[in-house]
Homo-oligomer: A and B are copies of this chain.
């Protein structure tokens, strides 16, 4: 156990400690020494597995993209109605970001990770592919001339923007007068607007 000389799975423990630390102090508050401390290991140990801080944070970001992909795929599985599907995808994205703020910050910031690292690059492409699947469904069901890539980027930009703006969303919730989360209302509005827009352009 923890009294053993060899840790067992130190890489995983270090990622978990990094996530906790970043959730508390933000990505800029991260340090390799503090992470090692929390993982109960000497401060020179992480170098064996990740080289340096950037290596560890890149690994965490890759893990975050994998989770995002899994959640988006699971949420849209078998959903073929365009409106339902858009809402399911958007909700999965937003919920994943809210549930994993440290991962999300690293996925999005680019300042602390190596975007060219193969593992991270692969995981982020998979996430984009999951999004693209839904865009293709929209094309098939709504408008054969839909610009796939532009639509995918606009969808991504919007949900990403919603996540970042969400701290300012308080009074929208109040104005609806329901138990619904403000962001759910916005996602529904967004789905309606988008579908109407896509159909109208055709």
Residue of B26, B153, B201 touching A193 (CB-CB under 8 A): B201
A152-176 interface bits toward B, Cβ cutoff 8 Å, 1 = contact, 0 = none: 0110111111101101110110010
| Docked pose: A162 CA to B185 CA in angstroms | 22
**Is A140 an interface residue, CB under 8 A from the partner?**
no
Question: Are B196 and A192 closer than 8 Å at their CB atoms?
Answer: no
How distant is A117 from chain B, measured CB to nearest CB, in Å?
16
A21 at the A/B interface (Cβ < 8 Å)? Answer: no
- The residues in A between 174 and 199 inclusive whose CB is less than 8 angstroms from any CB of B are 175, 185-186, 189-190, 192-199
Q: Is residue A52 within 8 Å, beta carbon to beta carbon, of the partner chain? A: no
Which of B28, B175, B201 lies in contact with A27, CB distance below 8 A?
B28
Contact A200 to B199, CB < 8 A, known contacts A154-B186, A164-B108, A186-B154: yes
Do B154 and A193 touch (CB < 8 A)?
A: yes
Copy count, this protein chain? 2
| Residue from B154, B169, B201 within 8 A of A158 (CB atoms) | B154
When chains A and B are docked, how far (Å) is the Cα of A164 from the Cα of B172? Answer: 24
Q: Do A111 and B28 have beta carbons less than 8 Å apart?
A: yes
Q: Please, could you name 28 A-B residue pairs with CB atoms under 8 Å apart, sorted by A?
A: A26-B111, A28-B28, A28-B111, A28-B112, A147-B189, A150-B185, A150-B189, A153-B165, A153-B172, A154-B158, A154-B162, A154-B190, A156-B161, A157-B162, A157-B165, A160-B161, A160-B164, A161-B161, A161-B164, A193-B193, A193-B194, A193-B197, A193-B201, A196-B196, A196-B199, A196-B201, A197-B197, A197-B200
Known: A153-B169, A193-B193, A196-B201. 15 other contacts (CB 8 A): A27-B28, A27-B111, A28-B112, A108-B164, A153-B165, A154-B162, A157-B162, A158-B158, A159-B161, A160-B164, A160-B165, A192-B197, A193-B198, A197-B200, A200-B200
